[in-house]
Structure 1
Amino acid sequence: MVVAVICALAGLFIGYSMAKSGIEKAYKRAQKDAESIIKKAEQDAAELKRKTIVEAREEVHRLREEVEAELRRREQEIRLIEERLLKREEMLSKREEMVEKKESSLEQLRVQLEMAKRKIEQREKELDEKFTELAGMTVEEARQIVLEEARSRYEHDLAVMFKQIKERYEEEAEKEAKKIIAAAVQRYAPEYVGEITVSTVSLPNDEMKGRIIGREGRNIRAFEKITGVDLVIDDTPEVVVLSSFNPIRREIARITLEKLVADGRIHPARIEEMYEKAKQEVEKAIKEAGQEAVLKVGVTAIHPELVKLLGKLKYRTSYGQNVLAHSIEVAQLAALMAEELGLDAEKAKRGGLLHDIGKALDHEVEGSHTEIGTEIVRRYGEPEYVVNMIMSHHGEVEPTCPESVLVAAADALSAARPGARRESLENYIKRLVKMEKIAMGFKNVEKAYAIQAGREIRVIVEPDKVDDAEAEKMAYEIAKKIEEEVEYPGVLKVVVIREKRSIAYAK
């Protein structure tokens, strides 16, 4: 039994020794693994640090390049601004020089005038003294005698002149009255004869005229009552005429009649149905026309009602010129001039587009189109400069900003552009004859011709009796007289030609 205990103790000792040896080996292996892991971690950390430093350097290099590029761009912009400022300074310097030269010339002219005035006064004083010595009377007594003699001698001439002036102004007043009445009639829309008051509708055959008239004229009466437009049916084959001074109402009636003709069923109920459809189409076209005009010009934040009123201008004309197209052209011209002068092009475009907005309203509103336009743009919150542009483009008030002057100039340019406006052939011929007659009424004029569709008149004078100074004065006087006595669109050019021709014949 003792032997067994000893054997057990020996086995335990051996097992403990072996376990201790295994533990020590495992500890050494773990220590080696830990050292290798630490070493690898240190290597990884060094590698990561190296990569981070490289990336940071690359990022710094990239940021430096971006900053340098931005600096170069800024420097280029600054150079451009400096160049523009230099150009502006040069322009201002030139203008200052021109102003100084004009002031200097004006001062010289003022001095010359003052000297001439003194000479005239001295001469008058000498003549008065001489006259007093000769007549043995005072200057006042002599003046009274001269006035009495002039009154008795020229009383008849003064009466004739008064009659001519009276007749001339009565004629001008009649022209202005006709112009105002024509404008009022177009807005009011009663029956009137004119070139822009009728529309024609083609028919497939003359049998359709009877169907349009209807039994005992019930269809034509219903059509005229519903549309408010006169329907004229005459002997012209396959054509009927719609007459009205209201262009929108006339357009609705035209579309209604075309729909009825295409459908073939014509009776009062069908007329009313087609009228409603045509009305919706025209209202849609008005809205689209206004939106297209706003987009074309590039004006933003306009009230929808103003857009609708702009669309109505599509159906209004002035001397045959479409008012909406005219408004768009005025806006674009004013903006171009504003850009050239360094002014606010957006303000010019807005005012140019809305300057004739008052023409879109009908007879329910009283006043001129400028007064109506002023009221309507104020109602829909437009700025005061737009109000001033509307009121000043016909000279009713003074412009408060330079853009208002540009809108007025653009309005005149658009109207004066060749082919923009038209008039009847009869009035056109009368105008040309009257201009030539006025020019021929001046002394020493040989011939006068109206050319360039009545926008220029050339006057040929006798060269032996008219010198250059008199020719220049004559051109001014003819232009003023035509301006006073003749009504014409746009600008008229007067050219006085003075040339000497020497002719010889060889035999």
Structure 2
Amino acid sequence: MEIVIGIIGGLVVGAIIAVLAMRNAKNGSLREADSKIESARLEADQMIGDAQRTAETLKKEALLEAKEEIIQNKQAAEAEEKQRKRELRTLENRIMQREESLDRRNDALDKREHQLSSQAGQVEKRSRELDELIGKQTKELERISELTRDDAHRELLDKVRGEVTHEAATIIRDSEQRVKAECQKTAQRILSTAIQRCAADHTAEVTVTSVHIPSDDLKGRIIGREGRNIRTFEQVSGVNLVIDDTPETVVLSSFDPVRRETARVALENLIADGRIHPARIEEMYKKASELVQQRVREAGEQAAFDTGFHDLHPELVKTLGALRYRTSFGQNVLNHSVEVAELAGIMASELGLDPVPARRAGLLHDLGKAIDHEVDGPHAVIGADLARRYGEKPEIVHAIEAHHTDVEPNTVLDMLVMAADAISASRPGARRESFENYVKRLEQLEAIANAHEGVERTFAMQAGREVHVMVQPEKISDAEATVLAHDIAHQIEEEMEYPGQVRVVVIRESRAVDIAK
């Protein structure tokens, strides 16, 4: 294009020169003017010829470059096609090998099935022969003893049941009387002293999962255009943000209580600030995370200070502080841990033992609840592993691991932590449960007792902590009443979950009624 423009420019210059020459011809000779015009024309022709030759050269070079590019692209396409063919061939070989392996496995399974079928036939035949032989022996025994099989079975069971019931009742009564005589007074004194001296906070706290908003108009701003705000919030926080028809309320959902608390603080700050967009969400969540982590550390340090421990590992202090946002049946786990530490220390002092290990084990006994949503297993085992990792003594670790009998408790320290944990959890007002769960628990208590033979009526009393079982005196004797109470208590332990303990009282009354006329 530049060459053509140059040619046109040359022609224009030539024309201008010719015009000038014609104007000057008035003062010169016509021959001189013609000579100049001819010279300009020759110069213009030469320039046109040079331009045409240059254009041809550029055209040939462009064609050569295009051909080379086409050849390169063709070679690349052929190489890619060869690579794909090799991959397909490898994949086909793998599939053929897999099919051959499956065929061999099917053949082996068919042979095994055939063998099992033949063995099953032999076993069935042998079983029939044994049944026939047992039947013959049973008939012969019935003929000799002059008793049928059912009669002999019933007579033997009645005899054994009577002997066992009487012996079991005697053993249970003797054991209860001996244990009560030895332990009741001492245990009552120690527990009452520990409870009276424990000054832990008894207020039950619940981790907040709902956030109040000034108006429902904010829900649209929280969601954002095409959901970008709520999507950013969930990606940054790792917490599900549920926005439904509940007036002036949004709900945060997460298994991690610390993460849920961080999201709550961030959302409340965003609502108060009014500027809700992805960049602001990330900024607010970062600030909220720093604030919550600071609160966690402060809560752990305060709990350690309140119980008199200043040498806990920083990671244990941080994990302990996370229990501030964990609840169990409405009871704050951090407050519960401090309370258990105080109770265990008081009971250890009353028994003449060193209270420091008892308080330390009591403080750390529920450590695993801070991370049990991240690690599989019982929280007692998780907490013991964490304490062991950060250098706690073996007796402290074992007390943590044994407080729910995940391992066998075998020391006085283990029993002190278990007792303090049970006292803190079962005292009035410590925990709460929904009305529906409460009613279901009472109904299950009564159903377990009513399922036993000879039970007439059952009443769950004292908020489910005591069960009164009325029995029929003509079917249940005094000895059998003792065994029945033991069996019902054992069944409740096996089938139900409940705070504290349940007392089972079996009542047997005999009444004689007559009328004077």
CA positional deviation for 1:365: 4.2
Q: Name the counterpart of 2:277.
A: 267
Aligned residue runs from structure 1 range 52-451, under 5 A: 150=149, 199-361=209-371, 365-399=375-409, 401-451=411-461
TM-aligned CA distance change 1:380 to 1:269, over 3 Å: same
* Residues 416-471 of structure 1 deviation map (CA, whole Å, 9 limit, x = unaligned): 33343344433332222222122223333332111222221112234565454333
How far apart, CA to CA, are the structure 2 residues paired with 1:314 and 1:215? 36
| 1:496 to 2:506 alignment | yes
CA positional deviation for 1:498: 3.3
TM-aligned CA distance change 1:291 to 1:439, over 3 Å: same
* Residues 184-229 of structure 1 deviation map (CA, whole Å, 9 limit, x = unaligned): xxxxxxxxxxxx8971111111111111111121111111111111
AA aligned opposite 1:415: A
How far apart, CA to CA, are the structure 1 residues paired with 2:454 and 2:409? 43
* Residues 91-115 of structure 1 deviation map (CA, whole Å, 9 limit, x = unaligned): xxxxxxxxxxxxxxxxxxxxxxxxx
| Secondary structure, counterpart of 2:284 in structure 1 | helix
How far apart, CA to CA, are the structure 2 residues paired with 1:311 and 1:322? 12
How far apart, CA to CA, are the structure 1 residues paired with 2:143 and 2:344? 58
TM-aligned CA distance change 1:359 to 1:143, over 3 Å: farther
How far apart, CA to CA, are the structure 2 residues paired with 1:215 and 1:377? 48
Q: Name the counterpart of 1:105.
A: none
TM-aligned CA distance change 1:222 to 1:506, over 3 Å: farther
**Structure 1: gaps of 5 or more residues:** 1-140, 159-195
* Residues 109-131 of structure 1 deviation map (CA, whole Å, 9 limit, x = unaligned): xxxxxxxxxxxxxxxxxxxxxxx
TM-aligned CA distance change 1:277 to 1:152, over 3 Å: farther
Number of matched pairs: 327
TM-aligned CA distance change 1:504 to 1:154, over 3 Å: closer
CA positional deviation for 1:238: 0.9
CA positional deviation for 1:233: 1.0
TM normalised by structure 1 equals 0.58
| 1:476 to 2:468 alignment | no
CA positional deviation for 1:366: 4.7
**Structure 2: gaps of 5 or more residues:** 1-139, 158-205
AA aligned opposite 2:363: L
TM-aligned CA distance change 1:223 to 1:154, over 3 Å: farther
Cα pair 1:334 1:406 within 8 Å, conserved? yes
How far apart, CA to CA, are the structure 1 residues paired with 2:437 and 2:279? 44
The more displaced of 274-283 and 311-320 is: 311-320
CA positional deviation for 1:154: 7.2
* Residues 339-396 of structure 1 deviation map (CA, whole Å, 9 limit, x = unaligned): 1100110010001111121222265545433333233222322222111111222223
Percent of aligned pairs sharing the same letter: 59
* Residues 294-315 of structure 1 deviation map (CA, whole Å, 9 limit, x = unaligned): 1222223112221111001111
Q: Name the counterpart of 1:14.
A: none
The alignment's C-alpha RMSD in Å is: 3.2
TM-aligned CA distance change 1:149 to 1:269, over 3 Å: farther
How far apart, CA to CA, are the structure 1 residues paired with 2:456 and 2:420? 37
The more displaced of 211-220 and 311-320 is: 311-320
Q: Name the counterpart of 1:9.
A: none
The more displaced of 280-289 and 480-489 is: 480-489
| Secondary structure, counterpart of 1:234 in structure 2 | coil
Cα pair 1:222 1:268 within 8 Å, conserved? yes
AA aligned opposite 1:271: I
* Residues 129-186 of structure 1 deviation map (CA, whole Å, 9 limit, x = unaligned): xxxxxxxxxxxx979988x96589979xx9xxxxxxxxxxxxxxxxxxxxxxxxxxxx
AA aligned opposite 1:220: I
Cα pair 2:296 2:324 within 8 Å, conserved? yes
Cα pair 2:455 2:471 within 8 Å, conserved? yes
The more displaced of 474-483 and 247-256 is: 474-483
- Which residue of 471, 478, 487 corresponds with 2:497? 487
AA aligned opposite 1:244: S
Aligned residue runs from structure 1 range 7-26, under 5 A: none
CA positional deviation for 1:251: 0.6
Q: Name the counterpart of 1:456.
A: 466
AA aligned opposite 2:367: I
How far apart, CA to CA, are the structure 1 residues paired with 2:404 and 2:273? 48
CA positional deviation for 1:255: 0.7
How far apart, CA to CA, are the structure 1 residues paired with 2:355 and 2:142? 61
Moved over 6 A (4+): 141-146, 151-155, 501-507
How far apart, CA to CA, are the structure 2 residues paired with 1:419 and 1:271? 40
| Secondary structure, counterpart of 2:491 in structure 1 | helix
TM-aligned CA distance change 1:261 to 1:479, over 3 Å: same
Cα pair 1:197 1:243 within 8 Å, conserved? no
AA aligned opposite 1:229: V
* Residues 385-417 of structure 1 deviation map (CA, whole Å, 9 limit, x = unaligned): 111111222223344542222112212222233
| Secondary structure, counterpart of 2:463 in structure 1 | helix
Cα pair 1:331 1:353 within 8 Å, conserved? yes
**Structure with the larger RCO, 1 or 2 (CA within 8 Å, 6+ apart):** 2
AA aligned opposite 1:315: Y
